[in-house]
Chain A
Amino acid sequence: MWPFMVPSLAVMGFVLLYPLASAVWYSFLRYYLGGGAPVFVGLANYLDLLSDARFWSDLLTTVILVGFSVALQLVIGLALALALYAAARGVRLISLLNFLPNVVTPVVGAIFLKWLFIGRFGLIDSTLISFDIFPPDWLGDPVWAKVTLILADTWKFMPFLMLVLYAGLQAFDTQLLEAAQIDGANGWQRLRYVILPMMKPLILFVVAIRAMDAFRFFDLVYVITNGGPGTATETITLYTYQIGFRMLEVGKASALGVITLVIVAAMIGGLIFLMSRRGREAF
């Protein structure tokens, strides 16, 4: 059997392992793209980053954005999935319409969202002002800018959660719900004590996938706020981009990439551990 795996292993090695190994190697170099030959500096890039206040602030910002946006997406996605599950008609049309934001190219979606939220002539501000409501500074206030990005990410990616959870509900054993109903459980009790426990592995699975994806929060932030105001919405990936492509410090950017990989791997490892403890059927 092994010879049959050679082509796929070769492709994997070329597109996955080779770039990863290169990034790890570059992370040990002082490598300025506009200058001379790279110099081996050992762990200096890692030490620089770990003692950099901006790195820790960006990590906190990333955690806040990921935490709130994934939580919001889960709540709305689950609510819509349940509504679709209960709906008698129009399910296909509604799920198709809901899924549209997820199909739009991220940068195009981000530009569209920016023109919604931009100060004063954006669609939201213009509408609010026409009702004599003084709008907040969506992109210029540190707190509102975070809220805007959370809403933007939710608009873009909530449909993914909704669809996966709806698919999970389709496979649900309705006899359990009927039994609960006969026992006198109301709607909330059926959700709390029957549906959610049964869906827990699936919920953990989609949360893990989304969290992993959201941790690489880049295109929306880059287009909508560019990390601003100041560094209020600067994420780890945006900082990596700035070090790599603006400051041209390839070695340091690679080190930050490796650190991000380790953080995401640890986060996902924790979630997998949680899932395998609670319900092995998730993987």
Chain B
Amino acid sequence: MPRAISRRRLLAATAAGLAAPAIRRAFAAGEPVQLVSHRYPGLEYYADKLKSALPNVPVETRLMQAPDAIQLDRLALSSGSAQLDILWGNNITLVSFAKSGWLEPLDDLWAKHKDEFNLGDINEQLMKGCTYNGHVYGMPLTVNTLLYAYRGDLYEQKGLVPAKTWDDYIANAKALNAPPRRYGVTLALKGDMVSNEMNAVLNTIGDGWFDKDWRPTFNDARGVEAVETYKRLAQYCVPGYTAVHNDEHTINMSQDIAAQGQQWATRCSTMDNPDKSHVVGKVKWTVMPQGGKQVVVSDVYCISRFSTKDKDTTFRLIASALREENQRGAAALAMPSRKAVIADPMLAQKYRWYPAVSEALSVAQPLPALPEFSEASELVNKRIDQAIVGQMEVKPALDAAATEVQAMLSERGYYK
């Protein structure tokens, strides 16, 4: 027989409900540290290392695609939620989140633990990308850049050499284009990959994205020429490239569907994995034409300003996951951020793309450190896609993007 709800029971339940947050706080010390991160094999490795980094500090990880992770971070942080403790970011999100006041400055903790974790060994160039307004906000786990990946065997058959100019790059793509069996090039022009792919051509043929006052330069005459170059290249590309992101791009190279393309350093190991590739040992890597200036990004762990966990412990957790031995363990999956590991000749011998990555890093150019770049690139990327597929002419498309970006930045306090 069901029991009636008495007034006393109701009051007891209400009191328990009201006391719940206080009880929860009392037990908070034992609650796991929460990580939200982008996922690819390299980051999965570090998420695992984080779980066992410190004894008696449990860690829960939620790994997802980068746009989803960033979106979740934004929603949680903009509402001041304490649900996230450690969050993955890249150079763009770090600057954007730091500007919004959502990240914990790490300068003091960095200084305190520098010797214990040998933090001075982390590449200084990468640390620049973890700094905003003179304060450190993140710890770089990896470095990633785009390489010029090409089929060494096909180049040899056709008597081609790696392109030194964009015109040569297009000529090579044309020479190897044999649809539908194999295409000359693979492009990934879906979403945020547009700005990553375009960085090299906009920085070498064009004048980059913005001037020093954050006024657009991507629509000047050289910018138009840069996008026209990509439009010419797209003629020899695997179909559907505006719906292609990293996974499909990697498949195009590993399944012998494309002969060349810009490829992330983190994807190189797949080319030599016999379980996933039909072109083992056939892909070679070098720097993009005309001096590279291709995109470089870093996977970074940051600490939420709203986290209620002990910040010192959280910092030590991340620093422990970043130890040299862990970085060596991840060397096949991601380029490490420690100088001692990057420069290790044994690793360069073992992973044949390492020399190309080292060379590419020396000429890489990150995306603009504009806190609103992610929003600006949303506007520009769509217009570039429209220009490349022929939905709009290149010049009007880029002018429209420039007008939209200026209006957005002006609304957010720039150009005063």
Q: Which residue of A lies closest to B243 (CB)?
A: A139
Query: Is there a chain B Cβ closer than 8 Å to A140's Cβ?
Result: yes
Residues of chain A within 8 A (CB-CB) of B123 are none
Q: Contact: B244 with A119, CB < 8 Å?
A: yes
- Given the contacts A119-B240, A129-B180, A248-B375, A231 and B408 also touching, CB distance less than 8 Å: no
The 4 closest A-B pairs by CB, nearest first: A119-B240, A119-B239, A230-B386, A228-B242
- Given the contacts A230-B386, A230-B389, A34 and B96 also touching, CB distance less than 8 Å: yes
Subset of 7 A-B contacts with CB under 8 Å: A120-B183, A121-B252, A137-B239, A142-B389, A231-B382, A246-B374, A248-B74
Closest beta carbon of chain A to B151's beta carbon, Å: 16
Residues of chain A within 8 A (CB-CB) of B374 are 246
Q: Which residue of A lies closest to B240 (CB)?
A: A119
- Per-residue CB proximity of A223-236 to B under 8 Å, as 1/0? 01111111110000
Q: Contact: B412 with A32, CB < 8 Å?
A: yes
Q: Contact: A232 with B391, CB < 8 Å?
A: yes
Task: A138-B240, A247-B379 given; name 7 further pairs at CB < 8 Å.
Answer: A140-B241, A225-B242, A226-B242, A229-B389, A230-B242, A230-B392, A248-B375
Q: Contact: A230 with B391, CB < 8 Å?
A: yes
Residues of chain B within 8 A (CB-CB) of A14 are none
Q: Contact: B391 with A229, CB < 8 Å?
A: yes
Within 8 A of B (CB), among A20-57: 30, 32-35
Q: Which residue of B lies closest to A115 (CB)?
A: B248
Closest beta carbon of chain B to A129's beta carbon, Å: 5
Q: Contact: B239 with A34, CB < 8 Å?
A: no
Q: How many residues of A contact B (CB 8 A)?
A: 35
Query: Is there a chain B Cβ closer than 8 Å to A118's Cβ?
Result: yes
- Given the contacts A230-B386, A245-B71, A125 and B180 also touching, CB distance less than 8 Å: yes
Query: Is there a chain A Cβ closer than 8 Å to B385's Cβ?
Result: yes
A contact patch SS = loop
Q: Contact: B257 with A228, CB < 8 Å?
A: no
Q: Which residue of B lies closest to A33 (CB)?
A: B78
Query: Is there a chain B Cβ closer than 8 Å to A270's Cβ?
Result: no
Q: Contact: B391 with A140, CB < 8 Å?
A: no
Q: Which residue of B lies closest to A234 (CB)?
A: B382
Q: Contact: A246 with B375, CB < 8 Å?
A: yes
Q: Which residue of A lies closest to B183 (CB)?
A: A120
* Centre residue among B74, B99, B180, B183 by max chain A CB count within 10 A: B180
Residues of chain B within 8 A (CB-CB) of A140 are 239-243, 389
- Given the contacts A120-B238, A246-B375, A230 and B382 also touching, CB distance less than 8 Å: yes
In the bound assembly, the distance between CA atoms of A242 and B375 in angstroms comes to 9
Q: Contact: B239 with A33, CB < 8 Å?
A: no
Q: Contact: A247 with B242, CB < 8 Å?
A: no
Query: Is there a chain B Cβ closer than 8 Å to A146's Cβ?
Result: no
In the bound assembly, the distance between CA atoms of A30 and B408 in angstroms comes to 12
Q: Which residue of B lies closest to A128 (CB)?
A: B180
Q: Contact: A246 with B378, CB < 8 Å?
A: yes
Residues of chain A within 8 A (CB-CB) of B179 are 134
Residues of chain A within 8 A (CB-CB) of B248 are 118
Q: Contact: B386 with A121, CB < 8 Å?
A: no
Closest beta carbon of chain B to A9's beta carbon, Å: 21
Query: Is there a chain B Cβ closer than 8 Å to A114's Cβ?
Result: yes
In the bound assembly, the distance between CA atoms of A142 and B385 in angstroms comes to 11
Query: Is there a chain A Cβ closer than 8 Å to B251's Cβ?
Result: yes
Closest beta carbon of chain A to B186's beta carbon, Å: 9
Q: Contact: B240 with A34, CB < 8 Å?
A: no
Residues of chain B within 8 A (CB-CB) of A118 are 240, 243-244, 248
Within 8 A of B (CB), among A116-174: 117-121, 125, 129, 134-135, 137-140, 142, 145
- Per-residue CB proximity of B250-289 to A under 8 Å, as 1/0? 0110010100000000000000000000000000000000
- Per-residue CB proximity of B155-186 to A under 8 Å, as 1/0? 00000000000000000000000011001000
Closest beta carbon of chain B to A182's beta carbon, Å: 56
Residues of chain A within 8 A (CB-CB) of B71 are 245
In the bound assembly, the distance between CA atoms of A229 and B183 in angstroms comes to 19
In the bound assembly, the distance between CA atoms of A137 and B187 in angstroms comes to 14
Q: Contact: A35 with B240, CB < 8 Å?
A: no
The contact of A229 among B238, B242, B378, B411, by CB within 8 Å, is B242
Closest beta carbon of chain A to B378's beta carbon, Å: 5
Residues of chain A within 8 A (CB-CB) of B189 are 228
Residues of chain A within 8 A (CB-CB) of B191 are 226
Q: Contact: A34 with B180, CB < 8 Å?
A: no
Query: Is there a chain A Cβ closer than 8 Å to B215's Cβ?
Result: no
Query: Is there a chain A Cβ closer than 8 Å to B100's Cβ?
Result: yes
Q: Contact: B252 with A247, CB < 8 Å?
A: no
Closest beta carbon of chain B to A11's beta carbon, Å: 18
Closest beta carbon of chain A to B261's beta carbon, Å: 13
